[in-house]
Amino acid sequence: MQILKVENLSKIYGSGDTAVKALDNISFSVDKGEFIAIIGPSGSGKSTLLHILGGVDIPTSGKVIVDNTDVYAMDETALAIFRRRQIGLIYQFYNLIPVLNVTENITLPLLLDGRQVDKDNFNHMIEVLGLSDRLSHLPNQLSGGQQQRVSIGRALIGSPAIILADEPTGNLDTKNSAEILQLLKYFHTNFHQTLIVITHDESIALQADRIISIEDGRITRNEVIRR
């Protein structure tokens, strides 16, 4: 079952002499439960693509369809709801809210959406993430690896259609990187969670089901490496 379809996506920043073509006619689709690695040089358009997939940046032209919904045909209100319910975003520098503790950071997306926290689901998640004894800690009381585990919890708590991660291990040492990848793979394998991960780390890319390479805003390779 197809969960994401991208059609002829282009993004131009600015205009006239200073215009930058960040994405140049990108098309691909993703099945539910796939794990995709996106690789490519710095400045090639990877983050721009991820932001547009997640409804946080607007394409200049082209379409993004998530779970049969045409993302950029929605009005602002519907788009905000779409982002909260269907997209889980994970960033290199965690982007946790400094004044909220671990429990509050993880459950915030549900509360913003007026949804109840399912206690069993929450407890299972924090156990898998190894955060059970850190629930009342603030982000600045946690290591980088722990902060990234909180951001994984926050991304997953609402059972989104897709997890989008932009260099999730880019700020971590080898051991913590491996742990973060193991966690993402746990949710991918056990909950059939669709994952799209931008990475510079070849050992991470090689664990994906498919690798998409981007250069100068174009797809130069789109190869299934595992079924």
Ligand X SMILES: Nc1ncnc2c1ncn2[C@@H]1O[C@H](COP(=O)(O)OP(=O)(O)O)[C@@H](O)[C@H]1O
- Cβ distance to ligand X smaller for residue 110 or 172: 172
Its sign, for the CA torsion 179, 86, 69, 13, is negative
State which of residues 44, 47, 107, 148 lies at the interface with Mg ion (CB under 5 A).
Answer: 47
Non-local (6+) Cβ contacts of 119 within 8 A are none
- Cβ distance to Mg ion smaller for residue 146 or 177: 177
Binding segment for ligand X (CB under 6 A), chosen from 14-22, 89-97, 99-107, 128-136, is: 14-22
Burial 202-219 (b: 16+ CB within 10 A, else e): eebbebbbbbbbbeebeb
Residue 117's binding partner among Mg ion, ligand X, none (Cβ under 5 to 8 angstroms by kind) is none
* String of contacts with ligand X for each residue 25-54, x by CB under 6 A: ---------------x-xxxxxxx------
- Cα separation, 39 vs 214, whole angstroms: 6
The residue type found at 166 is: D
Residue 42's binding partner among ligand X, Mg ion, none (Cβ under 5 to 8 angstroms by kind) is ligand X
Please state the closest distance from residue 59 (CB atom) to Mg ion, in A.
17
Task: Give the pair of three-digit tokens for residue 117.
Answer: 């926290």
The residue type found at 98 is: P
- Cβ distance to Mg ion smaller for residue 39 or 102: 39
CA 63 from chain centre, in angstroms, equals 19
* Contact footprint for ligand X (CB under 6 A): 13-14, 20, 22, 40, 42-48
* Contact footprint for Mg ion (CB under 5 A): 47
